Chain A
C-alpha cells in the first residue's frame, strides 16, 4: 500500500504558472485526474513521476521525494502520454527489457504475466512499429506493470483506444485498484470516467477545482442547465410552444434563431421533436452550444 502526496505544490515556467498550490493525497484505489487540455494535468503527473521538480512544495511517494530519486521506480509505474516506444523491438523484447532493467528475479515470467494482463500475448512477437495505437498503448501498460508497482500513473491512457479496449483497460485498472494499488489516470473527457466509481480530482487552470466522489461531481454536471441553439421554420411559434415544456427553463429569441436553456438534457431532447411535430414546425438546426469541456469544468468551479 503506497500513498502519493502533494503538498502545496506549484510549478511555473518563467512567468507562466502551470500548477498553482495543489495539495492532494492519493490512496490505494483508482483516482481520475480530470481537467481540460492545458489545465496542468501532465505537469502534475510528471512531478509525481519524478520528471519535473516542483518549483515550490513537495511531491512524495511514501514520504520519499520523487525528484532525483530513481529508487522510487521500484514502486512506481508510468504510462506517459507520448506513445514513443522502441519500435524496433517486439512487444515481448520490449517488456522483457523493462523487466530486466527492474532487476526482477524472473524477468521472463513477469513479462508473460504482464502481456497476458493486457491481452497482448498473441501479438507479442511482432515489432512494436507495426502496432496500432491501441496495441502500442497496451504494450506500454504491460511494460509499466511488469514489476507490479504499488503506484501506477497513466497520462491519457484511453486516447486512441476503441470502446472494447477502453472497457478492458477500465476493468484492469479497477482490478489493480481493488488489489490495493494506487492508480491515477488523467483524462480530459468526463464521460471516460462514467464507469468509474472512484475518486476524482479536477484540475482547472492549474488549480485543484474539485476533489471527491465521482457521483457527487457527476450530479453537479447533470444538473447544470444545458444550452441549445435552435433554428426552425417558425422560431417564434416554436418558442411559445416550448415555454410550456417543463424541462425548458428559459428561451431567448434572436435574429439567428432561439437559444433554449434546458434543465434536463434527456427530457428536453425527447420533448423538442415531439413539440415541433405537433406544431408542424420544421427544425433546421439543434446544437448543444455549451458542451465544450471548459464550460462544464467552469460550471464545476462555480458549484
Chain B
C-alpha cells in the first residue's frame, strides 16, 4: 500500500467523522431485520428499504462522507501541502486517495446491502445489490473526490447532487436520470438479479458506460486539478 493511501486511511479512521459511517448501515439492516422478524411480506418493505433507503441514501451519503474526507479535509486544514511537496506524480496521489475512498465506501455500503437483499429476496439478489453498490461507490467516489478539488464546499455540492439532482429531479424529469449514479446502480443490480423490486430507468449499456465515464472522467479531471493546485497566501 502506498504511503499516501496509508496516511489517507489513518486520517479517515483517525477522525471522529468515521463514526458517521456507522448509523446508516445499522439502520438499514435493523429495518430489514424488524420487518423480517414481524413476518411482513418483502413485497411491502423491500422496495422502500432497498431503494428508498439503501440505494438512494446509504450508498451515496457514505460515499459522500468518505469521498470528501480523503482529500477535502486535507485541503481544508492545509496538510495536503505535505503530500504535494513530494516528487510524486499527481496521478498516483489521486489514485491512492480514490482507492481508499472507493474501497471504504464499497465495503461499508455493500455489506449491509447484501444482508438486506438476502433478507428481502435471495442471496443472489443480495449479491446483485453488492455488485451494484461497488460500481456505484467507485463512480460516486470519483465524483466527490473531484468536488473537493473544484469547490471549497464539496459536502454541500455533493448533498445537492444526491438530494436535488438524484432525489428530486430524477423523480420528475426523466432526462436527469442519465446523469444519476443511483439509476446506474439500480439498473446494474436489476440486470444481475431481476426481482421486480428494482425499477431501472436507464438501459444496461447506458448504466455501464456512464458509470465508467463518471469514474474515469472524475479521476482524470481531478488529477489535472491537483497538478495546478494553488495555495493562496493568508495575508497577501
Task: Evaluate contact between A82 and B234: CB separation under 8 angstroms.
Answer: yes
The answer, among A53, A70, A85, for a CB contact under 8 Å with B90, is A70
Task: Evaluate contact between A97 and B85: CB separation under 8 angstroms.
Answer: no
CB contact under 8 A between A46 and B77, given known A39-B236, A40-B236, A88-B10: no
A42 within 8 A of B: yes
Task: Evaluate contact between B7 and A43: CB separation under 8 angstroms.
Answer: no
Task: Evaluate contact between A103 and B82: CB separation under 8 angstroms.
Answer: no
A229 within 8 A of B: no
A240 within 8 A of B: no
Contacts of A94 in B (CB 8 A): 82
Against B, the Cβ 8 Å flags (1 = close, 0 = not) of A102-134 are: 110000000000000000000000000000000
The answer, among B6, B82, B84, B233, for a CB contact under 8 Å with A43, is B233
B195 within 8 A of A: no
B36 CB, min distance to chain A CBs, angstroms: 40
Task: Evaluate contact between B235 and A143: CB separation under 8 angstroms.
Answer: no
Residues of B196-230 whose CB lies within 8 A of A: 227-230
In the complex, what distance in Å separates the CA atom of A68 from the CA atom of B79? 19
The winner among B7, B82, B83 for most chain A CB atoms within 10 A is: B82
Contacts of A177 in B (CB 8 A): none
Residues of B68-89 whose CB lies within 8 A of A: 77-79, 81-89
In the complex, what distance in Å separates the CA atom of A46 from the CA atom of B78? 13
The answer, among B6, B78, B86, for a CB contact under 8 Å with A84, is B78
Task: Evaluate contact between B86 and A86: CB separation under 8 angstroms.
Answer: no
Task: Evaluate contact between A101 and B86: CB separation under 8 angstroms.
Answer: yes
In the complex, what distance in Å separates the CA atom of A40 from the CA atom of B6? 36
Contacts of B87 in A (CB 8 A): 70-74, 102-103
Residues of A38-63 whose CB lies within 8 A of B: 38-43, 46, 49, 51-53
In the complex, what distance in Å separates the CA atom of A86 from the CA atom of B82? 9
Task: Evaluate contact between A84 and B79: CB separation under 8 angstroms.
Answer: yes
In the complex, what distance in Å separates the CA atom of A37 from the CA atom of B234? 10
CB contact under 8 A between A51 and B231, given known A73-B86, A98-B86, A103-B87: yes
A230 within 8 A of B: no
Contacts of B232 in A (CB 8 A): 13, 52
B23 within 8 A of A: no
The answer, among A38, A52, A101, for a CB contact under 8 Å with B230, is A52
Task: Evaluate contact between A53 and B228: CB separation under 8 angstroms.
Answer: yes
Task: Evaluate contact between A98 and B78: CB separation under 8 angstroms.
Answer: no
A76 within 8 A of B: yes
Task: Evaluate contact between B81 and A84: CB separation under 8 angstroms.
Answer: yes
In the complex, what distance in Å separates the CA atom of A72 from the CA atom of B32? 55
In the complex, what distance in Å separates the CA atom of A263 from the CA atom of B14? 59
B101 CB, min distance to chain A CBs, angstroms: 17
A257 CB, min distance to chain B CBs, angstroms: 34
Residue of B nearest to A83 (CB): B78
Task: Evaluate contact between B228 and A68: CB separation under 8 angstroms.
Answer: yes
A89 within 8 A of B: yes
Residue of B nearest to A45 (CB): B233
In the complex, what distance in Å separates the CA atom of A68 from the CA atom of B226? 9
CB contact under 8 A between A38 and B231, given known A73-B86, A88-B11, A101-B88: no
In the complex, what distance in Å separates the CA atom of A73 from the CA atom of B82? 11
The winner among A71, A80, A101 for most chain B CB atoms within 10 A is: A101
Contacts of B15 in A (CB 8 A): 88
Task: Evaluate contact between A85 and B227: CB separation under 8 angstroms.
Answer: no
The winner among B88, B232, B235 for most chain A CB atoms within 10 A is: B235
B92 CB, min distance to chain A CBs, angstroms: 10
Interface residues in chain B, defined as those with a beta carbon under 8 Å from any beta carbon in chain A? 3-4, 6-7, 10-11, 14-15, 77-79, 81-90, 227-236
Shortest 10 CB-CB distances between A and B: which pairs? A88-B14, A84-B78, A42-B233, A101-B86, A82-B78, A51-B231, A100-B3, A38-B235, A73-B87, A84-B79
Q: With A39-B236, A81-B234, A85-B82 given, can you name 11 additional A-B contacts, CB distance below 8 Å? A: A37-B235, A42-B233, A68-B228, A71-B87, A84-B79, A85-B79, A86-B10, A88-B10, A94-B82, A101-B86, A103-B87
